[in-house]
Amino acid sequence: MRRARAQDVAVEDLAREQAAAELARLAKEIAHHDRLYYQKSAPEISDAAYDALRRRNDAIEQRFPALVRADSPSKRVGAKPESGFAEVRHAVPMLSLNNAFTREDVEDFAARIRRFLSLKDEDAIELVAEPKIDGLSASLRYEDGALVLGATRGDGSVGENVTANLRHVRDVPHRLAGRAPGVLEVRGEVYMARSDFAALNRQREKDELPLYANPRNSASGSLRQIDPGITAERKLRFFAYAWGEMSEPPGDSYWHFLDRLRHWGFRVNPKARLCKSPEAALDFYAGIAGERASLDYDIDGVVYKVNRLDWQQRLGMVSRAPRWAIAHKFPAEQAQTVLDRITIQVGRTGTLTPVANLAPVTVGGVVVSRATLHNEDYIAEKDIREGDTVVVQRAGDVIPQVVEVVKAKRPKSAKPYRPHEMCPCPLKTPTAREPGEAARRCTGALACPFQQFERLRHFASRDAFDIEGLGHTHIEKFREEGLVATPADVFRLHRHKAKLLEREGWGEQSVANLLAAIEARRRIPLDKFIYALGIRQVGQATARLLAKHYRSADAWLEAMKNAQEERKENPDEMKKAEIVGPSYAELRSIEQIGFGVADEIVEFFGEQHNLDALETLLGEVTVEDFVAPAAAKSPISGKTIVFTGTLTAMGRNEAKARAEALGATVASSVSKKTDLVVVGADAGSKAKKAEELGIETIDEDAWLKLAGSQ
């Protein structure tokens, strides 16, 4: 009997191998039609046929999330330009925003500002509230009043040069009105008005062309056209709301800066409001939510920004988001569907995550067939069972999750969920749940095939080694075929070139592209290297802290091995860092690294499999020393500072942030490597230890002068 082609099999009946093959076919076919449509304006299939391809791709990815390809159509809008755009490195990074979803989140945001700045109860916190435009972020650079460069946000550090296209966007002045700074970088959102979007689709329908899905995707695809004339036809618009590099201060307040933008000739959202308090900002949010449907542009929330620019400067940023701003998102759209069964997904650190497999339902314009159930406590708390009718929402309009059970519709046969005592991997290793933790973990460690796969995925991911073209499906297949088992094997794939060329759908060019992408990643910054190792609790921020402190891979590796030996020799003294030994004590002294994180790091170095994998990896790659961003020259640049006691004029968090901005490293405990200790009121053992070690100490007044705050 002839076996059915994968493309003829219903999504719910696809085997894993068939699904991978079908996703490969769909990626290639949809890319072909995208090129015809976006670059040639010559579609060869109907709108309905194209949409059917996209829906099938999305449905397969929902059912097999581990098979999502690096070149998946769901990860792009339209097609890449035929010749590409030149890269632009932003002089000042384009930051992202943290999100708030409830009134309590916004109140916590205001409370954090008050604590950080040591404000009194009677000190008002003025916020500027602006509708959050659902568009595409862009940056415009003006020199002597003339537009010289326009770029997309990209990854926040590097974007694309789309100057020619941005010149065709209405609301983007080619020359600024009145007096302007010699260098002025204005940032904002490119969008398509709903009325223009509707007119565009009416014309496309008349011309028998495929219709666009929504204004945001239309704006994004239109801005990245090789032919600027196509961009001009799309009637894009621009709201200005921020600055990057400026040759002079922007002013005293953000509200004043918006006024300056208007005078220079930019369009600022007329709905923006200066709110005298967080409560007034929340009232604005409620009002604009009611107007949302009648606006001529899409919004997905409200952005709150601290009005005083001196406060913004003091607050600074954390990770990749400013402390002085937050995006208050609108409630997620919800829908009801049936939970067919609960399956388990094993992460790179062995965490077992229960996943709800759902009858497909559309939520916020996206078909959802899988949703996270977080952990077994979450399931028990909500009493979620297979067969239940459940309420599903996309958290932050992105991640699907089950939020409620409709118990009135529960079938009599539904049984309570029982946690997995064995890992679903082929080894069937036992699972364990540590006291005080919500997660259940597989005890198979690196022997567990699921963990091996997830660790390799993490290793090649964008924020780690960022190997273009080495997607989930390729990693899984390479691992199954014995081509890769450890990270170092990725850099040895060139030895298997003949086998790669034998794989279905691979040719000389695709193999050459992959091997070239791998070769391009043989050098990596220390912080990315540490993050790529996938150590539990070591995210990007912690990896950067470690890199900043130890500076080189050799120094970090030696210190971690020493800390592991100290831990092994003193297993009962782990809460007394000084007793354990100097290397562990130094690790614990790093600001924001507690005992839990420190233990995870040294445990990683206590596993021989990890040490072997590290040694072979270091034989294949070069880890670049950490280079701190250039900071203003200051008396404390390059020094290690410890704060102790109560600071009255400047809060502890602000003092730490200020020290780091001036080029210093802030530690949480005093050691021989400490250069300076700032002693506040009621100082304790740290001040005493500094005296014993002969380390310089200063009081708060001296610190304020040193920090330039007096």
**Would you please indicate which residues are annotated as catalytic (active-site) residues?**
132
Cβ(90)–Cβ(159) below 8 Å? yes
- In the block, which residue shows the tokens 């650190």? 349
Q: Which of 488, 514, 521, 519 lies closest to 499, judged by CA?
A: 514
- In the block, which residue shows the tokens 């730490």? 656
With a CB cutoff of 8 Å and minimum separation 6, the contacts of 426 are 449
φ, ψ of residue 201 in degrees (nearest 5): -70, -35
Using CA atoms, how far apart are residues 566 and 585, in angstroms rounded to an integer? 10
| Cα angle for residues 563, 616, 536 (degrees, 5° grid) | 45
Q: Which of 47, 32, 31 lies closest to 208, judged by CA?
A: 47
Using CA atoms, how far apart are residues 598 and 592, in angstroms rounded to an integer? 10
Residue 679: other Cβ atoms inside 10 A: 22
**Residue 600 burial by Cβ neighbours in a 10 Å radius (0-12, 13-18, 19+):** middle
Using CA atoms, how far apart are residues 698 and 65, in angstroms rounded to an integer? 55
Cβ(346)–Cβ(425) below 8 Å? yes
> In 3-state terms, what secondary structure has residue 531?
helix
Tokens at 258, concatenated: 């918006």
Residue 429: other Cβ atoms inside 10 A: 16
Q: Are β-strands 640-644 and 676-679 bridged in parallel, bridged antiparallel, or unpaired?
A: parallel
Helical (H) or strand (E) element with 110: helix 103-116
Task: Write the DSSP string, 367-390.
Answer: EEEEEE---HHHHHHHT--TT-EE
Per-state percent for the chain, helix, strand, coil, to nearest 5: 40, 20, 40
Residue 469: other Cβ atoms inside 10 A: 16
φ, ψ of residue 149 in degrees (nearest 5): -160, 135
- In the block, which residue shows the tokens 């995870």? 600
| Strands annotated E in 78-230 | 87-89, 99-100, 127-133, 136-143, 146-152, 158-160, 183-191
Task: Write the DSSP string, 423-444.
Answer: -SSTT--BEE--TT-S-EEETT
